[in-house]
Structure 1
Amino acid sequence: MEILIKRIYILTILMIHISRYISLAIFIKNKESLELVAVVHRHGDRTPLEFYENDPYKDVEKYWPIGVGQLSNRGKLQLYNLGKTLRKDYKTFIPRYSTQAVRVNSSSFDRTLMSAASLLAGMFPPIGDQIWNYQLLWQPIPVHSTPLNKDMILSQLAPCPRYWEEYAKVITELAKNVTQEDEKLFEYLTKYTGQNISSYCDVGSIYTTLLVEDRNGLTLPKWTSRVYPDQLLLKTEMCVASYTWNSVLKRFFGGPLVKEILHQFEKKSTGHIKDMKLFLYSSHDSTVVSLLRALDFKGLIYPDFGASAIFELHLVQQKYYVKMFYSNFAESIHFELDIPSCSTPCPLDELLKTTEYVRSVDWETQCFE
């Protein structure tokens, strides 16, 4: 009888526990508990950043009249549509733009600044008294940026000798692990591109150029069919992952953005930014990958143009939880992710503890040790 009573007690506690999390999941899913949103996205489709020596399309004036590294019309549309998707998802939570509720940050590149503006055009068309021109249902929204030489968060170009010292060690180690198959790929690319290809990031440079040319309807040289896209994509993923290959690199290259997002979530949870509802961060492929890797996500990915990671802060039964979503493309569904080293749903205080190491970097002192 005593054993039966104990079993009933344990079963009751278990059912209460399960019931709590089922109701919690339903509550969060309906967004009734939503308190704050942070969106980190890659810029939209762009023109090539650089060209290989034998590139038949390196005549910028002829093929890329808007210049190198610039947001294309396709890229503008991608981010506009991403903005429309975000509007649909969060229309009830953020019915209209206001400076008190929305903060937009971008790296200081034309393509990211324009991507942010395109997204905002889709997410926040003027409503009611915001309409200032009935022939143009658009409103100007400020986009903030930091000079590249001071930006440790989005462009990650602020000087940090300590980071590059550690990165050089990683590159040396990766070079030791290059396979015979890799060597054959490097030789093949060297032969046909007309320039020395000897690392994963050299391959990544070729891949991104071919990707842009392909997306813009240009016929790629016949030699590319043997290696593009699959072989080149895998090495490109390796290249982007190398920036955060170990825990030290994660602290410098991904940690500052993790710190920024969770700092805003902390401030919201303590009532210091009561009116804030949305933070937007317009960035790059390396930014998105370093963010995911700093949070300890495994595997290799290469974010396509307009890829985005979304963080939601929820308040349920006086406790804060974080949910995360990801889409590898601008115009696809965001899938929910289980945040590594955190229970599901992920309590904010637990996430703060598990990310303490990557958030603890003191840029001003540790970068110059």
Structure 2
Amino acid sequence: MMMTWTRAALVGSIFTCLHKKRAALAEAKRDIVQHSAADPSYELKLVQVIFRHGARTPLKPIPHSEQVEWSPTLLETPKHTLFNYRVTDLEGGPKPPSPFEERYRSNKLKGGAFPGQLTTIGMQQAFSLGARLRKDYVEERSFLSPTFKPSEIYARSTNIVRNVESMRCLLAGLFQQQQEGPITIVTSDAESEILYPNYQGCKKLKYLTSRRMPLAFSQPGMKDELTKLHQDLHIDSSNEVDFFVLIDNLLAEQAHGFPFSVQYEGYLQRTERKVIDIVSYMVRPNDREVMKLMVGPFLYALQSNILEATRRSSDDTQSRKLFLYASHDVTLVPLLVAFGIFDQKWPPYAADITLELYQHQPSREWFTRLSYNGKEQVVKGCSSSLCPLDQFLNALSEVVINPEDYKTKCCLTEAETAEKTQADFIP
């Protein structure tokens, strides 16, 4: 009889513990709308920031009579944005060559600057983003150390100088130039880059988008609007200046305070609407194949960082707390679409997506929180902005792809290869 009572007591205690845990989890999920990330019962465990570089010179100038001068004086480095760093490949070896930079350096803009260079204003924008992160994660929440420590931070950038320099400026703002040794900024070769849709490295993505691009540009009103903009801006119609070249120049001129009349601002608004129309045609949330090939490997990396953090022991003090990724507007747009939060506006310079991971202490369950340019968002598939991890991972499961599958899916079929080859020979 005593043994029976002992077993009953043991079973009862197990059920009591399970009940308490379930109750805590139920309370967390029931009251999650009322909770905020500042609630002390939610402990911040990991932060990942994907950001666009700061303002830069245009990639390709508009050939018209009112072309502005991009002087090298616009590229001077403010002393407060300096930060000691080195650049390596992903394995710690020498920095890979950059075909993009080689292309930029082969031309000069009017005034003497090279295309695609981070300007003084762009450096300050990235610094300001770092200062904002410092206020949140150092000063207010004491999540990061006030001085840079290599064990806390992972920094990865595309292999383009403006992005590496934007990372430097962000770090200077984040740590106010206080550091324990230089930071290593890792980067990949162009063929295997995942921080932007890789049309060079993924033949299938290039094949799919090249078929869709002419249709995107032939949507109703596109040709007429482009012709009208060419006329209004006095651009020779024989020059290949599309909506993307226009918005690139107009945004750069606006950011640097060049004479930007009300008339020019109207051109920018018209151009942005058409760019968004084209991008929305190309980047469709229900097109899983294209979305996977555009940002699936990057999302896999973000997901892997989260899952690794959930497996850490509570006394692990050497694990990364902050992952920083210096990327591009063409990265942010499909990511925003994948998260279901694209606002139909072109991402500004130094725009950021910040993804946080929390653990609810009473239940020990995990939650994510995502913000865009400092504003909290509700990810598609999540019940609230503070999203249970299982909901978040499930929401992204249709577009996440691991490196092995990505490599396989990037290959063209024999029929696609034949079709592409035939198209290449059409005069």
Into which bin does the TM-score normalised by the smaller protein fall?
0.7 to 0.9
User: Within 2, Cα distance between the matches of 1:64 and 1:341?
Assistant: 49
CA gap 1:183/1:325 in 2 versus in 1, 3 angstroms: same
Rounded Cα–Cα distance in structure 1 between residues aligned with 2:346 and 2:321: 29
Match of 1:122 in 2: 173
Structure 2: gaps (5+ residues):
1-21, 72-108, 413-427
Q: CA deviation at 1:311?
A: 0.3
Matched, 1:43 2:53: yes
CA distance in 2, matches of 1:303, 1:357: 24
Task: Quote how far apart the aligned CAs of 1:235 are.
Answer: 1.4
Aligned match of 2:7: none
Is 1:167 aligned with 2:167?
Answer: no
Instruction: Determine helix, strand or coil for the equivalent of 1:28.
Output: coil
**Match of 2:364, as an amino acid?**
Q
Letter in 1 for 2:311: T
Match of 2:271 among 232, 235, 255: 232
SS at match of 1:205: helix
The 5 Å alignment of 1:271-286 reads: 271=312, 275-286=319-330
- Corresponding residue for residue 219 of structure 1: 259
Counterpart CA distance in 1 for 2:345 and 2:253 is 21
Residue 25 and residue 117 in structure 1: after superposition, are their counterparts in 2 closer, same or farther (change >3 A)? farther
Secondary structure of the corresponding residue to residue 340 of structure 1: coil
Instruction: Give the conservation status (yes or no) of the 8 Å contact 1:35–1:277.
Output: yes
Q: Distance in 2 between matches of 1:155 and 1:140?
A: 30
The match for 2:364 is: 318
Which of these residues, 65, 72, 77, is aligned with residue 112 of structure 2?
65
Q: Quick one: structure 1 residues 218 and 290, their matched pair in 2 at CA, closer, same or farther if it must change by over 3 Å?
A: same
TM-score, normalised relative to structure 2: 0.71
Helix, strand or coil at the partner of 1:346: strand
Alignment of 1:251-270 (within 5 A): 251-270=292-311
- Structure-2 separation of matches of 1:146 and 1:19: 41
Deviation sequence 1:172-201 (CA, Å, 0-9, x none): 43345323xx33212113332214589xx9
Report 1:278-317 matches (<5 A).
278-316=322-360, 317=363
Tell me the residue number matched to 2:220: 178
Letter matched to residue 209 of structure 2: Y
Alpha-carbon distance in 1 for matches of 2:61, 2:163: 21
2:353 aligns to what SS in structure 1? Answer: strand
Is 1:93 the counterpart of 2:124 in the alignment? no
**Structure 1: 5+ residue runs without aligned partners?**
1-12, 132-138, 328-333
CA contact (8 A) 2:49 2:355 kept: yes
1:237 to partner: Cα distance: 2.2
1:17–1:124 distance in 2 versus 1, CA, 3 Å: same
Contact 1:243-1:253 at 8 Å conserved across structures: no
Give the distance between the partners of 1:126 and 1:171, measured in 2 at CA: 44
The residue that corresponds to 1:110 in the other structure is 161
Give, as a single letter, the amino acid of the residue that structure 2 aligns with 1:188. Answer: K
The 2-side partners of 1:284 and 1:322 are apart by 23
Q: Output the CA distance in 1 between the equivalents of 2:111 and 2:162.
A: 14
Deviations 1:262-308 (A, max 9, x none): 11001111128862100000111011111111223355221000110
Partner residue of 1:76 out of 112, 115, 123: 123
Structure 2 partner of 1:204: 244
8 Å CA contact 2:122–2:166 kept in 1: the answer is yes
> Identity rate of aligned residues, in percent?
23
SS at match of 1:80: helix
CA offset digits 1:14-46 (Å, max 9, x no partner): 9x9567643785463246510000000000010
The TM-score with structure 1 as length reference comes to 0.81
Instruction: Work out whether residues 27 and 33 of structure 1, in 8 Å CA contact, stay in contact via their aligned partners in 2.
Output: no
Q: How many residues align?
A: 337
Give 4+ residue runs of structure 1 displaced > 6 Å after superposition.
Answer: none
Query: Which residue identity lines up with residue 348 of structure 2 in the other structure?
Result: D
The whole-number CA distance in structure 2 between the counterparts of 1:313 and 1:250 is 24
> Deviations for 1:284-343, whole angstroms, at most 9, x for unmatched residues?
10111111112233552210001101000000121111100011xxxxxx1100010122
Assess, with a 3 A threshold, how the Cα gap between structure 1 residues 18 and 319 changes in structure 2: closer, same or farther: closer
Please state whether the residue corresponding to 2:242 is helix, strand or coil. Answer: helix
The reply on whether 1:141 has 2:183 as its aligned counterpart is yes
Which amino acid in 2 is paired with 1:366?
Answer: K
> Over the residues paired in the alignment, what is the CA RMSD in angstroms?
3.0
What is the identity, as a one-letter code, of the residue corresponding to 1:342? C
